[in-house]
Amino acid sequence: MPHRVEPPAKDSSANVPPQTNRRRFIKKSAAAVVGAGSVFHVPYAFARTRPRLRVLGMHVTLQEELRHRAEHDLGIDLVFDVRGAAAVLQKASTQPESFDVYEQSSNSISIMQQAGAIQPLETARITHWDRINALTKTGRLTPDAPLGRGDAPHKMLYVQPDGRSGSAPSDRVAFLPYVHNVDAFGYNAQVVPQGRAYETESWGWLLDERWAGRVGLVNEPTIGLFDAALAAQAKGLVTFNDIGAMSRPELDALFEVLIDFKLRGHFNGIWSSVPQSIDFMQRGQVVIESMFSPAISSLRSQGVPAVYAAPKEGYRAWHGVMCLSAAAKGATLDAAYDYMNWWLTAWPGAFITRQGYYMPIPELVRTQLAPEEWDYWYDGKPAVRDLPGTDGRTVVTAGSVRNGGSYTTRLSNIAVWNTVMDTYEYSLQRWYEFLTA
């Protein structure tokens, strides 16, 4: 029934709930690794005082298991300031002195830059910079993959000579790309007939009259708006010149459709947190809704045959980034670089993989995964055995296949990235209208 309603996140992974049992699993894993001898260098062992790093971000990456592991590996103290996306952005953009490392999705970078709240990263201090894959750097994993619309991270990765972000490579980057994924909608296959990935599964299902009164949407314009826009476009109700940069008339047309559907009772849940989205589908309040990957895993582990769609129109993608506070300097700055480099290593990569997310250096992650885990999570092959999540519980049963295929296939089918459009303020007004209709 009641949920702890969290502030919405632009980053879909922002709503991953911390789970105690996951922590136990991670602790065990960490203990095993420590027992085998840590591979991490402790650069500040000689420091008179233990560095303290303040990280401002969201739930997806600011998990206790990760904090403990990082503190142990790095010999630093980590203070996680976990907030919702809006709160994170609000605090980060106005109080850069209140944090050292900022974790958000890539679409917030322009705002942070405009606010002067972050400082560029030197690629030379990023240990595995060269091994980071092409998705972040070029927008494509393969040369023939289409570019997703909207705020693709490569468009704002490199810091240009004028201090602004751009796609032209340079020695300085606005952020460290790390956790990323593609989102779609999920559906209960007990009610909604299961479709075929990239063939029959379509965003248009969200506006299918068959599921009227049982459809959910995420309460975030920079996310839910694109889900709804992709749905309306797939149904032929609205057309967009550029779905990643909707104009006011396009927004008006879209919201006319959405409000009309809402008034007709089409939507039965506008969720603001992953647990809420799980609860909606678990209770049967909705049978199809915008969803994030952890919610699908959770529902499946509870016996709900939730399917994460691979829409033929393409996914909505998001990319997590880490930024340096404009105020960070000295030892804190060094600790921040170490923390960022730690994230690109195998253990956190494997940890986050088991929650369904990807990391930009898959081959490093692979060293920490069992072969069958790699096959399932990255190669899109059937699981040859039950696979555990971060808490040790089975989240993938033997024989399951990740809908949408391999990492390359999925990340090569991006329709749009989470984006803060120029019409953002106007979309907020219309979104409010939609919510209160």
Partner 1 sequence: MTPRPLPSPPPNAPAPRPRFGVSRRISLGFGLVLLLHIAIAALNHFGLTQASADFAAYQANTLAAQRVVAISRNAFQLQRNVMLFAHTGSSGTARRVQQLHDKLSEQLSDGKTATPQAGPRDTYDALAGLLGNYMTGFDQVKQGRGIRQSLAYTALPQIGNTATDALSQITEDAWAQHNFRRAALAGRAKEKLLQTSADALAYLRSPSIQRVTHALKALDECKDLLNQLSDTAANQAQTDQVARVQALLPRYESTLLKMVQTTRGYLHLVSVVMAGEAAEFVRYSDAFQQQTLHELDTLAARMTQENHRFKAVSNGVSVVSILLGVLAAWLIGRSVVPPLNAITRTLTRLSRDESETEIPGLNRRDEIGQMAAAAQVFRGKADETRLLLEDSRRLGEELHDKNEEMQRFAYTVSHDLKAPLVSCTGLLNFASEDLESGDHDKVRSAMGRVQANVKRMDRSIQDLLDLSQIGRVRHDPEFLDMLRLLGQVAADLRPRADAAQATITIANDLPMVVADRNRMIEVFENLLVNALKYGCPTPGGQITVGGSANEQETRLFVRDNGPGIAPRYHDKIFGLFQRLDKSQEGSGAGLSIVQRIMEMHGGRIWVESDGSAATCFWIAFPHAAAPAHHASDAAV
Q: Which residues bind partner 1 (CB under 8 A)?
A: 1-5, 7-8, 84, 86-87, 89-90, 93-94, 111, 114-116, 219-221, 269-270, 272, 422-426, 428-429, 431-432, 435-436
CA 69 distance to own-chain centroid: 21
Q: CA 210, CA 205: separation in Å to the nearest integer? A: 9
CA atoms within 13 A on the CB side of 248: 3
Spatial CB neighbours of 152, under 8 Å, sequence gap ≥ 6: 106, 139, 414, 417
Contact 415, 146 (CB under 8 A): no
Q: Minimal CA–CA distance to 129: which of 168, 163, 175? A: 175
Bridge-based pairing of strands 101-105 and 77-82 is unpaired
Spatial CB neighbours of 283, under 8 Å, sequence gap ≥ 6: none
Residue 304 token pair:
């709900």
User: What is each CA distance from 220 to 124, 248, 255, 279, in whole angstroms?
Assistant: 36, 18, 14, 18
